A and B are shown apart, each in its own frame.
Chain A
Amino acid sequence: MDNGQHTHIVKYKTFIWVLLVLLVFTFSSIAITELELGVYTVTGALLFASLKSVIVLMYFMHLKFDKKFYAIMMAGIILLLTSVIIVTFLDYLYR
């Protein structure tokens, strides 16, 4: 039972930088939809969304500085959800 609050303190400045990166990605995802990439437009927007999530998870949610267990579980959950969607699509893609 450890109550040693992790002594790791994230600087305010780090959080501000993280916000700036998030805003850049946000506006990039909007800009990319202006381009005519056909099917891939949305892929681009979702790619930026994924990058934003990783940054929120790593810095705001502290996964970068916590025990690896949390990050591994998080990755596992995402993999699980993705796999379930893929298996569901085995039905819809081939009807």
Chain B
Amino acid sequence: MTNHAHIDEHRDDEGSKTGMWIFIFTELLLFGGLFIVYSVYRYLNPMAFHLAAEELDPFIGTVNTVILLVSSMTIAMAITSIQLKKKKLTLILMGVTVLLAIIFMVNKYFEWTGKISHGIFPGSEVLHQSSQGEILFFGLYYAMTGLHALHIIVGMGFIGYVMWLVKTDDVKHDDYVILENSALYWHLVDLIWIFLFPLFYLIT
């Protein structure tokens, strides 16, 4: 027997934001686990970490840091622009954010392939010859920047999806909590890199 009861799709923007923030907390703890590993092995192998870090290029690290900071600004601005009903500007700002993310990933790609071509990757012969501290440093480097890169890709997908919603007017000046949530996710990605940068590139 069919009936006419239905569940109202209730809209609760504040609740939506709260849910997103709690998800952000889970991501912080996810990376937190790797930070625990980093801090223990750094403590146990200070010299080896110091030496291993010299193999990384601080210039690329700095460029990537700047890229993410700028992209954080652009996505934050996108919220202002949608609040001001500037749909086209919103899409431009979001597009720039995604573009910057792509550049970050390209840089990462060159960094990684550079290392790999020198034989520095988990399980490699070169690493097997190195000190244990160096093995751990690069294990952490690949694990942490790799997991971070995965989150960049997810973030790009999320922002791309919201861009489509903006385009079709499903997100507008009085209904944009999903844009806020995608921006929060992007800032999280930025926050993690803010710590990865000094821990891998600046401990020389």
Direct contact, A vs B (beta carbon within 8 Å): yes
Q: Give Cα distance in the complex from A16 to B32, angstroms.
A: 30
Q: Give Cα distance in the complex from A88 to B39, angstroms.
A: 10
Set of chain A residues within 8 Å of B23, measured between Cβ atoms? none
Set of chain A residues within 8 Å of B191, measured between Cβ atoms? 53, 56-57
Set of chain A residues within 8 Å of B177, measured between Cβ atoms? 5
Secondary structure type dominating chain B contacts: helix
Set of chain B residues within 8 Å of A56, measured between Cβ atoms? 72, 187, 190-191, 194
Set of chain A residues within 8 Å of B100, measured between Cβ atoms? none
Question: What is the minimal beta-carbon distance from A36 to any residue of chain B, in angstroms?
Answer: 12
Question: What is the minimal beta-carbon distance from A69 to any residue of chain B, in angstroms?
Answer: 8
Set of chain A residues within 8 Å of B10, measured between Cβ atoms? 1
Query: Could you tell me if B73 and A10 are in contact, using CB atoms closer than 8 angstroms?
Result: no
Q: Among B25, B43, B198, which residue has its beta carbon within 8 angstroms of that of A73? A: B25
Total interface residues on A, using CB and 8 Å? 43
Query: Could you tell me if A9 and B195 are in contact, using CB atoms closer than 8 angstroms?
Result: no
**Does chain A have a CB within 8 A of B80?**
yes
Question: What is the minimal beta-carbon distance from B155 to any residue of chain A, in angstroms?
Answer: 14
Q: Among A60, A81, A89, which residue has its beta carbon within 8 angstroms of that of B28? A: A81
Secondary structure type dominating chain A contacts: helix
**Contacting residues of chain A (34-79) with chain B, CB-CB under 8 angstroms:** 41-42, 45-46, 48-49, 52-53, 56-57, 59-62, 70, 73-74, 77
Question: What is the minimal beta-carbon distance from B164 to any residue of chain A, in angstroms?
Answer: 21
Given contacts A2-B13, A30-B62, A49-B198, contact A15 B77 (CB under 8 A): yes
Total contacts A-B at CB 8 Å: 116
Given contacts A42-B198, A52-B194, A77-B25, contact A22 B32 (CB under 8 A): no
Pick the interface stretch among B63-71, B108-116, B125-133, B143-151: B63-71
**Contacting residues of chain B (131-173) with chain A, CB-CB under 8 angstroms:** none
Q: Which residue of A lies closest to B173 (CB)?
A: A5
Q: Give Cα distance in the complex from A29 to B191, angstroms.
A: 15
Q: Among A15, A26, A88, which residue has its beta carbon within 8 angstroms of that of B76? A: A15
Given contacts A88-B36, A92-B43, contact A42 B69 (CB under 8 A): no
13 contacts between A and B (CB under 8 A): A1-B10, A10-B80, A16-B73, A19-B73, A29-B202, A30-B58, A30-B62, A33-B202, A45-B203, A46-B198, A52-B194, A73-B25, A93-B43
- Identify 17 new A-B residue pairs, CB closer than 8 A, beyond the known A23-B69, A81-B29: A5-B177, A9-B80, A12-B77, A18-B73, A19-B72, A29-B197, A29-B202, A42-B198, A46-B199, A49-B195, A49-B197, A56-B194, A60-B76, A60-B187, A77-B25, A77-B29, A85-B39
